[in-house]
């Protein structure tokens, strides 16, 4: 497969995953981002700073993945070419 095909698919899947984690965190009141070494989490009621820090991280990852997907779709050969 060509990277022009699987690149946007991978970044779109990442954007959907991070967006789903973000929405699930807002609806449940507990924002969680699990990694193999460390789990970032925070509850909205008693840990608001940690909650919003994890929400900001997930928002950044969602937006960056979405922009990466759009960039790969509209500029498949890069911006400089």
Query: According to the model, what pLDDT value does residue 17 have?
Result: 95
d(CA 24, CA 42): 13
Six token digits for residue 30? 């507990």
d(CA 74, CA 81): 12
Helix, strand, or coil (residue 43): strand
Query: According to the model, what pLDDT value does residue 1 have?
Result: 61
Query: According to the model, what pLDDT value does residue 6 have?
Result: 87
d(CA 32, CA 10): 22
Question: Which residue numbers in the chain have pLDDT < 70?
Answer: 1, 81
């Amino acid at each position: 497969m060509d990277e022009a095909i699987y690149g946007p698919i991978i970044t779109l899947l990442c954007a959907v995953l991070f967006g789903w984690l973000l929405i699930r965190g807002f609806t449940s009141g507990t924002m969680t981002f699990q990694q193999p070494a460390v789990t970032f989490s925070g509850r909205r009621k008693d840990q608001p700073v940690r909650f919003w820090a994890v929400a900001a991280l997930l928002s950044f990852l969602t937006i960056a993945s979405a922009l990466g997907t759009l960039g790969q779709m509209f500029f498949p050969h890069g911006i400089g070419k």
